[in-house]
Amino acid sequence: MPQSPLLLYIHIPYCIHKCHYCDFNSHVRTQPDWLAYQQALITELTHWSQQQQYQNRKLHSIFFGGGTPSLAPASLIAKVLEHAQNLFGFEDNIEISLEANPGTVDMQAFQGFYQAGINRLSMGVQSLEHRELQWLERIHGSDDVYQAFDAARNAGFNNINLDFMYGLPHQTLKQWQQTLASALQLNPEHLSCYQLTVEPHTKLATRHASSPYKLPNDEASLAFFQETRCKLASAGYQAYEISNFAKANHYCRHNDGYWLYHDYIGIGAGASGKWDMQDGGTHRYSNIRTPEKYTAQAIQTGSAINSDESLNLQQAAAEAVWVGLRAAAMAMSSLSSTPRCPIISFSCLGRRAVSTGSSPDRFCPLISRSRAIPGHAFNLTRSVAPCGTGFEPV
């Protein structure tokens, strides 16, 4: 069976503050033990390089996600990359991304990451409006974003993504249009625009349960989505996935790899990995989530698996369909000849297709990080009109 490109995900779980909407595996620590964490990552990487399913395969892309990877010393990033290259080798033109919080980085930090080998930055901006940033509990202001973006460019980065969030309580379409316009003035190569989702077990969920926020209804959510996709299309950004927009040749190869159901290694606290098996099924694992427990276990035994499972051919095929629909539906919606693309129907069908007894949300980083279009936001009859056909913002 031909093997897919191999991706490597590295989780850096530390943050300065836990944002109230966040359900990622992120932990506030004043002084993380970076040396121990580096040792754990390298030990785990060595372990996976010795497993048959990952042997003799060069890395196609690498992604440092979090948490806040830009808190990590550049020396840790450099060491992990050096080991990854020695153990696996890199494909030509490998994409190596790092997530950065604009409140944690300066010119020196960016220079360090660039010299360590990072060639793509993903900045968690979320908003450029003061009150929205405060409501989101972000540690940065809009000035930090502009300064960080300039510093990143000056450090040499020519492939930058900006993450934004819409559908915030009381946010109007006009406010979102202004945010998008400001984002476009920065001229990034890539934009990710997610709809706010109230995730279970977050502080936001608790607050929302006791005193509900005014969140957009279905019609308003659709208007935000339409506005995003049409505004970015007219600015030259291709929608290659429900929440992801890129200039030509700047798709995120790593995320594309998840949607194409490629194999990936995940190292770090709470990271997950998967590989396709000879019988057509898939095996996947997920690591211990607490940083200290993960670190101790990985250093001691070489791996830190918390749970794993095998999917048979039918389950794996269903999951591949569901994951792939996030990108496929968007591709369909951009076909000019498509009068009205039933994109949401596709997404919902995908969710149904995967009801095979497996639990993808626990394992797939893209699904668990998805804030694109929550299942409750639209019903099966919704469809998305092509840009320029006169949809009415609410």
Residues that bind ligand SF4 (CB under 6 A): 15, 18-19, 22, 24, 26, 66-68, 101, 124
Look up residue 262 and give its two tokens. Answer: 């490629």
CA dist., res. 95 & res. 117, Å (int) = 10
Question: Minimum CB separation from ligand SF4 for residue 126, in Å?
Answer: 8
Question: What is the number of the residue whose Cβ is closest to ligand SF4?
Answer: 22
- Give the nearer residue to ligand SF4 in terms of CB position, either 30 or 56: 30
Question: Minimum CB separation from ligand SF4 for residue 371, in Å?
Answer: 10
Q: Helix %, strand %, coil % for the chain, to 5?
A: 40, 20, 35
Question: Minimum CB separation from ligand SF4 for residue 226, in Å?
Answer: 26
Question: Minimum CB separation from ligand SF4 for residue 165, in Å?
Answer: 10
Describe the strand order of the beta sheet including 6-12 as a list of residue ranges.
Answer: 238-241, 244-246, 190-195, 160-166, 120-126, 90-100, 59-66, 6-12, 263-267, 272-276, 282-287, 305-311
- For residue 264, the number of C-alpha atoms closer than 13 Å in the C-beta half-sphere is 28
Question: Minimum CB separation from ligand SF4 for residue 49, in Å?
Answer: 28
Q: Where are the alpha helices (DSSP H) in 291-372?
A: 291-301, 313-333, 343-353, 360-363, 365-368
Question: Minimum CB separation from ligand SF4 for residue 199, in Å?
Answer: 11
- Give the nearer residue to ligand SF4 in terms of CB position, either 139 or 235: 139
Rg (CA), the chain: 20
- Give the nearer residue to ligand SF4 in terms of CB position, either 288 or 387: 288
Question: Minimum CB separation from ligand SF4 for residue 120, in Å?
Answer: 18
Look up residue 191 and give its two tokens. Answer: 């934009």
- Give the nearer residue to ligand SF4 in terms of CB position, either 66 or 268: 66
Question: Minimum CB separation from ligand SF4 for residue 380, in Å?
Answer: 30
- Give the nearer residue to ligand SF4 in terms of CB position, either 15 or 246: 15
- Give the nearer residue to ligand SF4 in terms of CB position, either 26 or 171: 26
- Give the nearer residue to ligand SF4 in terms of CB position, either 101 or 226: 101
- Give the nearer residue to ligand SF4 in terms of CB position, either 15 or 191: 15
Contact by Cβ (8 Å): 246, 189? yes
Please state, as a whole number, how many other Cβ atoms lie within 10 Å of the Cβ of residue 54.
Answer: 21
Look up residue 329 and give its two tokens. Answer: 């539906």
Prior bond of 67 cis (ω within 30°):
yes
CA dist., res. 242 & res. 193, Å (int) = 9
Please state, as a whole number, how many other Cβ atoms lie within 10 Å of the Cβ of residue 358.
Answer: 19
